[in-house]
Amino acid sequence: MRVAVIGSGHVGLVAGGCLAAIGHHVVCADRDATLIAELQAGRLPIYEPHLGGALCKAREEGRLAFTENSLQAATSADIILLCVGVPQLETGHVDFSALDEAARQIAPAIDSHKLVVLRTTVPVQTGEQLRHLLAVYGHKPEEHIHVAANPQFLREGTAMDDFLHPDRILVGVAESASAQRLREVYAPILESKFFCPVHAGSCPPRPRPELLVTNIQSAELIKYVTNSFLALKISYANVLADLCEQLGANIQEVCRAMGLDARIGPKFLDAGLGFGGPRLPKDLQAFLKFVVSTGVESGILLGTDRVNRTRVDSFFRKIEKCVWVLKEKRIALLGLAYTPNTDDIRGSPSIELWRRLTAAGVLVCAYDPRAMANACEENPTLTCVADAYQAADRADALIIATECEEFVKLDWKRIHGLMARPTVLDGRNLLSPSAMLALGFEYHSVGRPG
């Protein structure tokens, strides 16, 4: 099929790269001329494992192109994916200006033969509004406009694998013909018949994903309720971690046992600095705002948000208690991205922790495998070094703030010898307390004895 992807940010580039990888002809459009020039030159503006190789291969094989002209991309396409951002304003409301502009740009190309698909996470009933806007801007009857919702469930750092090997594919449609067209778009994934760029060919056997077909409003709601429930699990684990610290229990043992219950599952029961990033906090707050507006009881969502907002404060108090006098102390900070395998620092608990430490007079020396360039660009006073060992040199304490596998594999005996005071505060429960204590560290984590 011929697919136009409007919006070439993280969501759009992953969608474009993956759809081209499974055989479709894709044009990615964006109004940012600088971004398009970078992509046309073969430079990827974000870090996402395997994405650069997939985009390069698709371009070489003639299945992927980039353009500033959204109308031109939409005109030549059968399916149009809208992947533009809908950021949250300080008021808690959603900013639809980019979506409105995208609708205005592509509307002249929309006719009864094209399907416009909302890929971005949006509030319920956005699909209805989009259909109306396309009809108004395109001067066509609404019954000639076909809109669907196809929310993405991608995690930065594993987005390619999540797209190509999903648990399920959710489509919200107003008519059965739209569902059939989306089934054709995703047929190679549903049937597991494609060359996988993530696994360099064949991948380990996995259950085939199910195509879930709902109405548009249900699909829009499902995305919000899913993210909110994941946020709830993380906040619940953090409440339990605080309880474990009071009682001498071990949060990892508690959550492992709880997660073995098939009704609960083990994923997202991870205690630590809380969740961050550009999506999960935003989606929770937007959904909370929506639920409050309907008059439905929202206490459980309020509690989830409140717990998460306190995690950096709680960990900062742990640092104060451990280090005692913070002013002019040297602290190594490992991890700046909000999650591993990405360079994205938006909403990162680590950056918020850095701000708190700096305000207290701490000399922070940071390292992250991917995110240092973005972090320094956004925070010019941030001091970064080439590796974890330089960060640890003469440090009074070392903080692990991002769950990077690289940090597990460090030579911790060497780090012990480099530090002025061998103290580690593990905000992600990444290391073994017994192993760290055996090496002679003073070791503190979240919700675990030791």
pLDDT tens-digit readout, 351-391: 999 999 999 999 999 999 999 999 999 999 999 999 999 99
pLDDT tens-digit readout, 252-295: 999 999 999 999 999 999 999 999 998 899 899 989 988 999 99
Q: Looking at residue 339, what is its pLDDT?
A: 95
The average confidence (pLDDT) of the chain is 95
Do 157 and 241 belong together in one domain? no
Q: What percentage of the chain has pLDDT greater than the value 90?
A: 90
pLDDT of residue 192 exceeding 90: no
Q: Tell which residue, 393, 445, 388, 386, has the closest CA to residue 422.
A: 393
Span 107-114, average pLDDT? 94
Q: Domain boundary residue among 283, 309, 335?
A: 309
**Choice among 40-54, 88-102, 407-421 with the minimum mean pLDDT:** 88-102
Q: Report the C-alpha gap between 235 and 229 in whole angstroms.
A: 10
pLDDT tens-digit readout, 244-253: 999 999 999 9
Asked whether 19 and 3 are in contact (CB, 8 A), the reply is: yes
Do 62 and 198 belong together in one domain? yes
Do 324 and 296 belong together in one domain? no
Residue 299 lies in a domain: yes
pLDDT of residue 52 exceeding 80: yes
Residue 450 lies in a domain: no
pLDDT of residue 90 exceeding 80: no
pLDDT of residue 300 exceeding 90: yes
Do 259 and 335 belong together in one domain? no
Q: Residue 408 contacts by C-beta under 8 Å, 6 or more apart in sequence?
A: 430, 431
Q: Report the C-alpha gap between 363 and 428 in whole angstroms.
A: 22
Q: Looking at residue 197, what is its pLDDT?
A: 82
Question: Which backbone phi and psi does 327 adopt, to 5 degrees?
Answer: -60, 125
Do 231 and 202 belong together in one domain? no
Do 176 and 40 belong together in one domain? yes
CATH number at residue 280: 1.10.1040.10
Structure tokens at 142: 């609404």
Please, which pLDDT band fits residue 207 given cuts at 50, 70 and 90?
A: confident
pLDDT of residue 33 exceeding 80: yes
pLDDT of residue 175 exceeding 80: yes
Residue 203 lies in a domain: yes
Start-to-end Cα distance in the chain: 57
Q: Looking at residue 202, what is its pLDDT?
A: 64
Helix (H) or strand (E) holding 289: helix 280-294
Q: Report the C-alpha gap between 193 and 219 in whole angstroms.
A: 26
Q: Domain boundary residue among 196, 214, 232?
A: 214
Distance from chain centroid for Cα 347: 10
Do 303 and 353 belong together in one domain? no
Q: Tell which residue, 64, 54, 59, has the closest CA to residue 194.
A: 54
What is this structure's pTM?
0.91
Do 90 and 190 belong together in one domain? yes
Do 183 and 232 belong together in one domain? no
Q: Tell which residue, 258, 230, 82, has the closest CA to residue 167.
A: 230
Q: What residue numbers bound the domain in which 245 lies?
A: 223-309
Residues paired with 399 in a beta bridge = 333, 425
Q: Looking at residue 317, what is its pLDDT?
A: 96
Q: Looking at residue 206, what is its pLDDT?
A: 78
Q: Domain boundary residue among 276, 309, 342?
A: 309
Residue 10 lies in a domain: yes
Do 298 and 388 belong together in one domain? no
Span 89-104, average pLDDT? 88
Q: Report the C-alpha gap between 55 and 17 in whole angstroms.
A: 5
Please, which pLDDT band fits residue 93 given cuts at 50, 70 and 90?
A: confident
Residue 91 lies in a domain: yes
3-state secondary structure of 28: strand
Residue 32 lies in a domain: yes
Residue 449 lies in a domain: no
CATH number at residue 320: 3.40.50.720
**Residue showing tokens 């309907």:** 294
Q: Looking at residue 36, what is its pLDDT?
A: 97
Q: Tell which residue, 78, 81, 77, 229, has the closest CA to residue 151.
A: 81
**Residue showing tokens 């701000």:** 355
Q: Report the C-alpha gap between 34 and 58 in whole angstroms.
A: 21
Do 154 and 60 belong together in one domain? yes
3-state secondary structure of 81: strand
What's the structural domain count of the chain?
3
Do 319 and 436 belong together in one domain? yes
Residue 111 lies in a domain: yes
pLDDT of residue 75 exceeding 70: yes
pLDDT of residue 201 exceeding 70: no
Span 64-82, average pLDDT? 97
Please, which pLDDT band fits residue 119 given cuts at 50, 70 and 90?
A: very high
Q: Give the strand pairing for 64-67 and 79-82.
A: unpaired
Q: Report the C-alpha gap between 350 and 340 in whole angstroms.
A: 12
